[in-house]
Chains A and B, each alone.
Chain A
Amino acid sequence: MSEVWISKFYELKDVKISKEKNRIMIETSPDKIVETCRFITTKLGIHHLVTITGIDEGEKICIIYHFWGQHNFVNILVRIEKTNPRINSITNVVPGAIFYEAEVHDMLGVIFEGNSLMEGRLLLPDTYPSDLPPPLRKEANPEEIRRRMGLE
């Protein structure tokens, strides 16, 4: 990685950056996600979003956006409250994010404001009971899901 490229990261404000081999992690707050993604696509010239990972950590939900470019993984980590799981969608900056956000919405119940797929289901069947927590949450129990969906 060239020095010029590393120095571009200092333009971001209020972030925590850590680097290990070719994996760079930018930790920031959820309201700055669109701005940080725009930085990555315009200033760093990285357009390839690999995927968006959602992890249930108990009280917070951790969302990691993985970008790959210039021989490095550039990741953005944000944490949102489980009691109000909303975050801005980045589909205006990265159109390819539409399915990845819809997957996190289906599996963890996070609402991405501005993503047009938030009303329906992408992966789960329509018979998935709406009062049960989404399957990747810690409180979800596969046996109960099976029983409620009528699978023996």
Chain B
Amino acid sequence: MSSDESIEKTVKETTAGLIQYSPEGLVPFGPVHPALKEPEYFKIILEGEKIVQIIPRIGYAHRGIERATQDRTWVQAIYLVERICGICSFAHSLGFVQTVESLTEYEVPRRARYIRLLIAEMERIHSHLLWLGLVGYWTGFDTLFMWIWRDRERVLDLIEMITGNRVHKSYATITGVRRDLPENIERHVQSAMKYLSERVVFYKEIVNTEATILTRTKGVGWISPDVAIRLCPVGPLLRCMGFKRDVRVDDPYAAYDEIVPEVKTSTDSDILSLLNLRLEEIEDSIRMILDAITAIPPGPVKTTVPRTIPKGDAMGHVEAPRGELFYFVRSDGGNKPTRVKIRTPTLANILTATEMLKGHTLADVPVVLTGMDPCFGCMDRLTVIDLDEGKEWQINGEQLRRYGIEWYKNNKRE
């Protein structure tokens, strides 16, 4: 698509009506319509049974962290930044620390880079398993949810053995990691990975044969790749459309230049392919962890943690479990950051996910929105506006989940 008219036409088709949706005869509304007193997370507009537009509003988790980093020292800012998200907290701290390191002259020791890879891949496994369990939960397959979260505990045990905590690890620091691996950790890592690789084979079989999951995910949420690429998605959502993009391979960091990931893609851009893609990524992570734990070199785990960072602008990105996580840091030579800008992968994917839902029914909303792997709070509260009957009502996440399960028992998607 190189001509300007076709670009403009694509833009009108995709973002038209994002806010100023006004069908003939009905009231147009914006993000702060006077009749809707409560700010909602998602406003869903229905015509009959089909969704015509979804309008997201994302102030629910805004806490003012970018401003708060300016009042903290460099090391204190690491602990603040990792609490942006509990599921990918190591990715946040790694992204911040790597960006700050590129402003200094220090080199990260090889052993530290391997350890960073280990923890980053373990976090990827834990995040993908968490997501898979949630898909089971949303589609009514509670047993799958319980099984997967039980298996996820094995990874959390490993993380706790190495870093001391399950969720907020506080493990990365400027120029390295804070402490070394414990003795005899290889034995625990190998037994946990062996157990998990058997379980992943089992889950792949379930996901591809179980009717509960297939009816709700096969063919659901399809979007044309040419349209989607202009909306700038990242992560597994981008890879399930056939684009081979992964920050670990395009711009290697930590030890990814020595232990190279295999980037998996798929070409049917629906939710079922996302499920398979994430399961394959777990298998690849298991392989990388086993390679890293046998090849890890001896040496120090950090160089020196500086108090002040030289003046300059730096940018860096990492592949968090959900996609590309970007950091921009500006330093004025002092002991506090001047500006930290963070772009989380969920923000980049919201536009694509809402476009995927056009033409689907309300029962598909939980599965497709979960497909882009958002944070929990996203689904807490939604307003549904039915254009045909001219009424609106509120629904919360749990009610939507039950509605979806009931709908699929009694109806079929065309």
Q: Across the two chains, which residue of chain A brings its CB closest to B355?
A: A95
Chain A CB within 8 A of B366 CB: no
Q: Which residues of B contact A26 (CB under 8 A)?
A: none
Pairwise interchain contact B350-A119, C-beta atoms closer than 8 A: no
Pairwise interchain contact B7-A92, C-beta atoms closer than 8 A: yes
Bound form: Cα–Cα A35–B324 in Å: 27
Chain B CB within 8 A of A66 CB: yes
A119 shortest CB reach to chain B, Å: 6
Bound form: Cα–Cα A48–B59 in Å: 24
Pairwise interchain contact B18-A117, C-beta atoms closer than 8 A: yes
Pairwise interchain contact A50-B326, C-beta atoms closer than 8 A: yes
Q: Across the two chains, which residue of chain A brings its CB closest to B7?
A: A93
Chain B CB within 8 A of A36 CB: no
Chain A CB within 8 A of B231 CB: yes
Using A50-B317, A123-B59 as known contacts, say yes or no to A55 and B11 having CB atoms under 8 A apart.
no
Please classify the interface of chain B as helix (H, G, I), strand (E, B), loop, or mixed, using the class held by over half of its residues. mixed
What is the 8 Å Cβ interface bit string for chain B, positions 9-28, against chain A (1 contact, 0 not)? 01100110011100000000
Bound form: Cα–Cα A122–B146 in Å: 36
Q: B62-70, B149-157, B211-219, B284-292: which lies at the A interface? A: B62-70
What is the 8 Å Cβ interface bit string for chain A, positions 34-50, against chain B (1 contact, 0 not)? 00001000100001111
Q: Which residues of B contact A92 (CB under 8 A)?
A: 7-8, 11
What is the 8 Å Cβ interface bit string for chain B, positions 346-363, against chain A (1 contact, 0 not)? 011011000000000000
Chain B CB within 8 A of A96 CB: yes
Q: Which residues of B contact A124 (CB under 8 A)?
A: 59, 62
Bound form: Cα–Cα A92–B250 in Å: 28
Pairwise interchain contact A116-B15, C-beta atoms closer than 8 A: yes
Chain A CB within 8 A of B230 CB: yes
Bound form: Cα–Cα A136–B342 in Å: 13
Pairwise interchain contact B250-A71, C-beta atoms closer than 8 A: yes
Which of B10, B20, B57, B326 lies in contact with A116, CB distance below 8 A?
Answer: B20
Q: Which residues of A contact B14 (CB under 8 A)?
A: 95
Pairwise interchain contact A122-B351, C-beta atoms closer than 8 A: no
Contact count band on A: 35 or more
Which of A49, A66, A73, A98 lies in contact with B15, CB distance below 8 A?
Answer: A98
Q: Which residues of B contact A73 (CB under 8 A)?
A: 315
Interface centre among A96, A126, A135 (most CB of B within 10 A): A96
What is the 8 Å Cβ interface bit string for chain A, positions 111-141, against chain B (1 contact, 0 not)? 0000011011111111000000001100010
Using A50-B324, A50-B343, A136-B66 as known contacts, say yes or no to A120 and B315 having CB atoms under 8 A apart.
no
A60 shortest CB reach to chain B, Å: 14
Bound form: Cα–Cα A97–B7 in Å: 14
Chain A CB within 8 A of B336 CB: no
What is the 8 Å Cβ interface bit string for chain B, positions 21-60, against chain A (1 contact, 0 not)? 0000000001110000001000000000000000001110
Q: List 24 A-B contacts (CB under 8 A).
A: A48-B229, A48-B232, A50-B232, A53-B328, A55-B330, A55-B341, A91-B11, A94-B230, A94-B232, A95-B11, A96-B231, A96-B351, A98-B18, A99-B347, A116-B18, A119-B31, A120-B30, A122-B57, A122-B58, A122-B59, A126-B32, A135-B67, A136-B66, A142-B67
